[in-house]
Amino acid sequence: MDRRESSLLAGIPAGTSGVPLLRRMPRAVAEEVLSQGRRYDVAPDQPVPMWESANCFYVVLSGCIKLTRLEEDGGQLVLELLGPGAHFSASDLGSPGERSYLAAGLTAAAVGAWSNDAMARLMGRHPRLALNAAEDLDHQLKVAYRRIAELAADRVEVRLARAVLKLADLLGTREGQKVLLDLPLSREDVAMMAGTTLYTVSRVMSGWARDGLVKLGRRRIEILRYDRLAALISG
C-alpha cells in the first residue's frame, strides 16, 4: 500500500472532532490550523512521512503509530504506542537527522502533519493551540512518570495486565466482556512493554489461560474476562 497524501481540511468534517489538539477553539480557527496541514495514510511498518528530516509535528488521526528505538543489532525496541488524538514529533526524540528512533504504522493509520515552522506560526497567532499542546505534553509526562513508577513497584502480573489491556483498548474488537486482540506485535514486544522477559510473559499468560481469563493463539489473544484483568491493575 502506498502512502497517500490529501487535504486535512477535507478529511475532517465539523472542525475539531477528529483532532483533540483543537479542542475549545472556534471552528474558523480550527479550520485555519487544518488548512496548514496534510493528511497521510501510513501502512503497517511504514515510517511516517518526512520523519528523517525531524521537521514535522504529527497528530494521529486513526489507527496506531509505534515509536521505536533502533538497536545496534538491527532490532527495534517499542517505546510507546500512540492512538487517535496523540501528537508527537521527531525533534522530541533527538537531533535533526538522528536515526536511532522511528515512528511507523503499527496498524494501518492516518496522521496529520504540519511543518514545525507552520505549527510555530499557528501557535504564535492562536495561544489556545499552544496551551492545548502544553496541556497534552503535561499529561504525557505524567503518564511517563507513572509508568516508570509502575515498572519499579508493581508485580509482573500487574504490569503485563496493564500492557495487554492498553493493547486491547487501542486495537481490540470488543464483544461484552470479551475482547479479540490480533497482535501486530510479537510477545517479545509485549514483554518489553511490561518490563519483563519472554519466558515470564509465556508463564503468566498460560496461567491466565488455565484460569479462563484469556484464550491464546498465534499472535492473537482473546480476552475472556476483561473485568478480572482490570481488577489485577486496580488491586
Q: What is the C-alpha to C-alpha distance for residues 145 and 186, in angstroms, rounded to an integer?
A: 25
Do 19 and 132 reside in the same domain of the chain?
yes
Q: What is the C-alpha to C-alpha distance for residues 212 and 205, in angstroms, rounded to an integer?
A: 10
Do 85 and 168 reside in the same domain of the chain?
no
pLDDT value at residue 1? 39
pLDDT value at residue 130? 94
CATH code (residue 16): 2.60.120.10
DSSP secondary structure of 100-120: SEEEEESSSEEEEEEEHHHHH
Do 137 and 193 reside in the same domain of the chain?
no
Q: What is the mean pLDDT of each run of 10 residues along the chain (235 residues)?
A: 59 58 90 91 90 84 88 76 88 58 90 93 95 89 81 87 90 85 84 88 95 89 92 85
* β-bridge partners, 89: 57
Q: What length is written for the chain?
A: 235
User: CA torsion sign, 205 to 211 to 214 to 219?
Assistant: positive
pLDDT value at residue 15? 45
Q: What is the C-alpha to C-alpha distance for residues 189 and 43, in angstroms, rounded to an integer?
A: 19
What's the grid cell of residue 99? Answer: 536515526
Cβ neighbors of 22 (< 8 A, separation 6 or more) are: 15, 16, 29, 30, 33, 34, 129, 132
Angle subtended at Cα 204 by Cα 211 and Cα 184, rounded to the nearest 5 degrees = 105
Do 28 and 118 reside in the same domain of the chain?
yes
Which of 95, 115, 150 is a domain's end point?
150
pLDDT value at residue 10? 60
Is 38:7 a contact under the CB 8 Å cutoff?
Answer: yes
Give the range of the structural domain holding residue 32, as residue numbers without chain letter: 4-150
Do 28 and 60 reside in the same domain of the chain?
yes
pTM: 0.80
Which of 103, 122, 150 is a domain's end point?
150
Do 76 and 30 reside in the same domain of the chain?
yes
Angle subtended at Cα 97 by Cα 92 and Cα 100, rounded to the nearest 5 degrees = 70
Number of independent structural domains in the chain: 2
Q: What is the C-alpha to C-alpha distance for residues 89 and 82, in angstroms, rounded to an integer?
A: 12
